[in-house]
Amino acid sequence: MSSSTERTIPRMPTNRRTFLQRMAVAGVALGPGGVFLASCATSEGADEDEGEAEEEPQGEVSEDNPFGVPDGEPLEIFIFDGGFGDEYATEIHQPIFSEKWPDVQINHNAAVDIGAELQARFVAGDPPDFINNSGDGAMDTGQLASDGQLYDLTELFDAPSWDDPDTPVRDILIPGTIEIGTRDGKPQVLNYAFTVFGLWYNKTLLDENGWPVPTTWQEMMDVCADIKAFGIAPWVYQGVTAPSYMNWPLLVMAAKLAGPEILLAVDNLEEGAWGHEAIRESAAAIRSLAENDYFLPGVEGMEFRDAQGLWARGEAVFCPSGSWLENEEADAIAENPTFEMTMMPEPLLSENSVMPLETVRATAGEPYIIPADAANPRAAMEYMRAMLSVEGARGFTEAVTSLTSVAEANEGVEFEAPGLSSAQAALTAAGDNVINWLYSTWYPTMESPGIDQATATLLRADITVDEWVQQCEAAAAEIRNDDSITKQTREA
């Protein structure tokens, strides 16, 4: 695909010196080639060539090759080997890409701890071309964006979609998908999976025991009392690994009670946002689960998979999570042949709530990035375009039991998985009453360890709601007062 009419696109300039300085401040020492050494004192980074930026390899730009993918240049990818595994990449997305680009060799890698695998390569200026930056060890995308380490994806979203050259990529995505990956006005993250959040339960178990699906918090407490008397735990959560999962029903119930504006205040770091009366009332409701011993005994010290596995095997009834849960616990669910996994929206704290019961939190997630220093970003964008094809998106859904941010791929699809089917039904029932928040994406350290620590203590009923609010406010203030952190804002 060579041509004398190739256009040359310079590589996006990066701020690698800033990135090196941040690593030094964090106490990370670098050896030859940018390899991480044991934590010890270090000087302010290394020499850097700040001359003319290296040019990207570039092929002929055409209707069939909108990015100018260079023929024969390898494409290195890293996939997070977590709840979704990596077979969706090797069995679905890579074959779609390779059918069109047989001469582009894909060097596939899978990793459980993405940050541990790749941070040194970012610092060395030699990152892979495409990264599924997910999991507990994910790199801070906000920090990477601030340090100029991420590629601007505007060209991807403006390009013709894989299936219809007359429709740009941005127009095939569920609204809000691009925005959630935008930093400082530039889209830099592709959030591919579309997650519906809620409370999950075994429908068969409730039906057999005549337990109603609670629609109010009082009904929840009544059902929990019956479940506890039956001899199993009413609730489980993700233990010591992720107490943040309990922040999700807390904030959703608060937003239903008082309206989505309270989430806007939280995201925008407004002073006193965490002390809103609706958030306090919701926190009190969550704390009451601990007060009444409605959590699975010992859950506060469990790893998240252990806690979820016990839930799937029938030792607890309600579990907060996103729609990835069905795939993540497929093996445990298979051990319980009567398990019919179902999602319910969080109950109302009051019958006078501003938003309806059907309101759900849903958002594009599972981030994919192209580093600014990628050797072959043109092919990486083309790989993303292939992922966003209807074939690629539906294949992903069938393989990992998760919706995607490609709107057409979710329409008219019959899902065999009961959990995903119920999530799709809940999303349909919600209509326009879909909410989300971004503070945990924009400011990961505010979420963990900040708010996570406060919530973990609240879930043991070791602190009062007032103390929880104070700790959450302190976590928000730490971000708000840190001039080194780029602040993001959103409007209603």
Q: For the chain, what percent of residues have pLDDT higher than 70?
A: 89
Q: Which fold has domain 16-43+64-194+364-424?
A: D-Maltodextrin-Binding Protein; domain 2 (3.40.190)
Cα–Cα distance, 108 to 269 (Å, whole number): 40
Residue 182's SS3 state is strand
Count of CB atoms situated within 10 Å of the CB of 22 = 17
Lowest-confidence pick of 57-66, 195-204, 290-299: 57-66
The whole-number pLDDT of residue 456 equals 97
Instruction: Report the candidate in 418, 422, 415 with the shortest Cα–Cα distance to residue 343.
Output: 422
- Determine contact, residues 160/168, Cβ cutoff 8 Å: yes
For residue 95, give Cα distances in angstroms to 36, 103, 395, 492. 35, 12, 11, 41
CATH 3.40.190.10 residue ranges in the chain?
16-43+64-194+364-424, 199-361+434-480
Tens of pLDDT, residues 69-127: 999 999 999 999 987 899 999 999 999 999 999 999 999 999 999 999 999 999 999 99
Q: What average pLDDT score do residues 475-484 get? A: 97
Q: What average pLDDT score do residues 216-231 get? A: 98
Q: Where are the beta strands (DSSP E) in 370-478?
A: 403-404, 434-435
Structure tokens at 366: 């599972």
Count of CB atoms situated within 10 Å of the CB of 242 = 19
Instruction: Report the candidate in 363, 12, 367 with the shortest Cα–Cα distance to residue 181.
Output: 367
Cα–Cα distance, 86 to 111 (Å, whole number): 9
Chain mean pLDDT for the chain: 88
Bridge-based pairing of strands 106-111 and 75-80 is parallel
Whole-structure pTM value:
0.78
Partners of residue 363 on adjacent β-strands: 195
- Determine contact, residues 333/312, Cβ cutoff 8 Å: yes
Which homologous superfamily does the CATH classification assign to the domain defined by 199-361+434-480?
A: Periplasmic binding protein-like II (3.40.190.10)
The whole-number pLDDT of residue 54 equals 58
Confidence of residue 143 (pLDDT cuts 50, 70, 90): confident
Q: What average pLDDT score do residues 7-15 get? A: 34
- Determine contact, residues 390/406, Cβ cutoff 8 Å: yes
Q: What average pLDDT score do residues 7-31 get? A: 36
Confidence of residue 354 (pLDDT cuts 50, 70, 90): very high
For residue 474, give Cα distances in angstroms to 212, 254, 446, 463. 39, 20, 9, 15
The whole-number pLDDT of residue 31 equals 34
Tens of pLDDT, residues 156-189: 999 999 999 999 999 999 988 999 999 888 999 9
The whole-number pLDDT of residue 428 equals 86
Confidence of residue 36 (pLDDT cuts 50, 70, 90): very low
Instruction: Report the candidate in 401, 406, 433 with the shortest Cα–Cα distance to residue 418.
Output: 401
Residue 237's SS3 state is coil
Partners of residue 65 on adjacent β-strands: 62
Whether pLDDT at 32 is above 70: no
Q: What average pLDDT score do residues 334-346 get? A: 94
Instruction: Report the candidate in 236, 415, 216, 219 with the shortest Cα–Cα distance to residue 323.
Output: 415
Tens of pLDDT, residues 38-55: 223 223 333 444 444 457
